[in-house]
Amino acid sequence: MTPLDIKNKVKQILTEHLEAKQLRKTSERFAILDEIYSMQGHFDIETLYVHMKNKKYQVSRATLYNTVEVLLECNLIIKHQFGKNQALFEKAYMYRQHDHLICQDCEHVFEFCDPRLQQIQQMAGEILKFDIERHSLTLYGKCQGVQKNGKCSHGFKPINKG
């Protein structure tokens, strides 16, 4: 699937969701979805707001918060709260389930995947008699550079700070 295919598909998913829920198909909602699926990695509302202000389509923060809620409902995005007060989001369609490892030095977010998590999730659900819909696993640690000389070896800038 090309990036364009993905954009068309998520547009279709949003359209169907809006119709099913009898919500209106506003240009803002599709512009926001398009912008989100043009971005890389995690993003916060303020970053999204600035991106859209600088580009083609200008929307208000209120509309962003509103639309993000809709996109969460139809699983087109995922919300994260990595121990900060500010929520981060990421695209969810066509992005395989993965978890996160955050460098405590530079705050860069790495992704990894371990199939055993699905088993843990399933087993915990059975034991506690829950239908588990999703999980959120985040590891916090220090890279070898930090361990050796106190300086981060990958040199990423903190997320959302530049």
CA distance 76 to 54: 23
Q: Please tell me the total number of residues recorded for the chain in this structure.
A: 162
Angle of CA points 48, 33, 55, to nearest 5°: 50
Residue identified by tokens 């359209």 is 15
Among 93, 85, 87, smallest CA distance to 43 is for 87
CA distance 59 to 65: 11
For 19-41, give the secondary structure using H, E and C: HHCCCCCCHHHHHHHHHHCCCCC
Closest separation in Å from C-beta 150 to DNA: 23
Q: Does 108 bind its own copies (CB under 8 A)?
A: no
Question: Of residues 29, 42, 91, 100, which one binds DNA by CB under 7 A?
Answer: 29
Considering only 2-10, 14-22, 28-36, 139-147, which stretch makes contact with its own copies by CB under 8 A? Answer: 139-147
Considering only 5-13, 58-66, 128-136, 143-151, which stretch makes contact with DNA by CB under 7 A? Answer: 58-66
User: Euclidean distance between the first and final Cα of the chain, in Å?
Assistant: 31
Strands 99-103 and 77-80: unpaired
Question: Of residues 13, 18, 87, 92, which one binds its own copies by CB under 8 A?
Answer: 87
Question: Of residues 103, 106, 109, 152, which one binds its own copies by CB under 8 A?
Answer: 103
Question: Of residues 44, 142, 145, 156, which one binds DNA by CB under 7 A?
Answer: 44
Question: Of residues 62, 113, 127, 128, which one binds DNA by CB under 7 A?
Answer: 62
List contacts with DNA (CB under 7 A): 18, 23-29, 44-46, 58-63, 65-67, 85-87
Q: Which residues lie near its own copies (CB under 8 A)? A: 79, 81-85, 87, 99, 101, 103-104, 110, 112, 114, 116-117, 119-121, 123-125, 127-144, 147
